[in-house]
Amino acid sequence: MSHQESSSLATDQQAIEQLLNRPTLQTTPFTALQTAEDVATILSSDIAGKTVVITGVSPSGIGAEAARVIHKHNPKLLVLASRSTKNIDATITAIGGAGSSNVKGVELDLADLESVRKAAAEILEQTSVVDVLINNAGIMMLPEFQTTRQGVEMQFGTNHLGHFLLTNLLMPALLQSSQGASVVNVSSAGHHAGNVPFEDINFDNGKTYEPFPAYGGSKTANILFTVSLAAKLKSKGLRSFALDPGAVIGTELSRTMSLETKAAMGAWNPDGTPSEKIPWITVAHGASSYIVTGFATSIPEHNGKAFVKNNVDTTVAPYSLDPEGAEKLWVLSEKLVGQEFAY
């Protein structure tokens, strides 16, 4: 490991330690102790009859847990979108949806804008109304610089740009929701690792690429996109929220990170076990904010805000909520996807 890499990881560890136990303001009737199932039981009547789209599902993931509890409460249609049809089928089975007429799968590769357009068209063929869109898919800290099919840095392209295009292509259906749709963008405390690198989204073609700052910029983009959606579409009834699910144990988000990197950041012990210093939570608790932000009718005054532990996160970086930064990101995203979206 180089000196530069060691210094970067030390900074990463400091950021993680500062953020894990950050306070929240009790802004909703829900608490961090409630699981997704607890919340869904309370919001059962708000889930019933809704059409929901979730990206990035895999059997052990947070998105799958959200899908499982949503499916239990009788949605009209639950669409699970993922790059892997194998993961889609396995998730449908895992949540008890095999053979259910109200659970559908759609192949979606967020790192390929043509795949995003095809998936959006397929979803719109299945339904003219989308009540809740949960942009859950994500990748984290790719050790080497990679780009999407269209040549954009992979974390920014997958975590933000693909979701930007998908959301806007589904906007006609979102705006048909009778009670106002919700768009949920899954971010992370990792957004504190950096702002969006607006002037050099590809890190000088990878020459200045570092995994954690690049990941942080993509997660900042998730929050800025939330700010833009709320500002542009609040008058049309759309609600948008970002969320940090927390330090969730048992998912495969960090699968591309080496054990050495995880240990150097303080997240894992050298023997491969999770660090006792991290306040790990279960997938069931991590998915609870998905249900709160997707379905709670008691939180519209927090439109455009970021959530953690089922409440508004009061410690998000100021640059992630900056309206000017949000508009700058919107314009850049339109340029990168080759399509403008005016509302």
307 close to 293: Cβ distance less than 8 angstroms: yes
Q: Which residues pair with 78 in a beta bridge?
A: 52, 103
Tell me if residue 290 is catalytic: no
* Pairing, β 103-107 against β 77-82: parallel
91 close to 115: Cβ distance less than 8 angstroms: no
Q: Distances from the Cα of 52 to the Cαs of 90, 182, 260, in angstroms?
A: 18, 10, 39
Collapse the DSSP code of 313 into the 3-class scheme (helix H, G, I; strand E, B; otherwise coil) and give the result: coil
Catalytic-role residue among 209, 215, 290, 343: 215
**At 198, phi and psi to the nearest 5?**
-55, -40
**Alpha helix ranges (H) inside the chain:** 3-19, 36-42, 44-47, 62-72, 85-94, 113-126, 154-156, 162-169, 171-174, 211-233, 259-264, 283-286, 288-295, 323-337
305 close to 234: Cβ distance less than 8 angstroms: no
Which of the residues are catalytic? 215
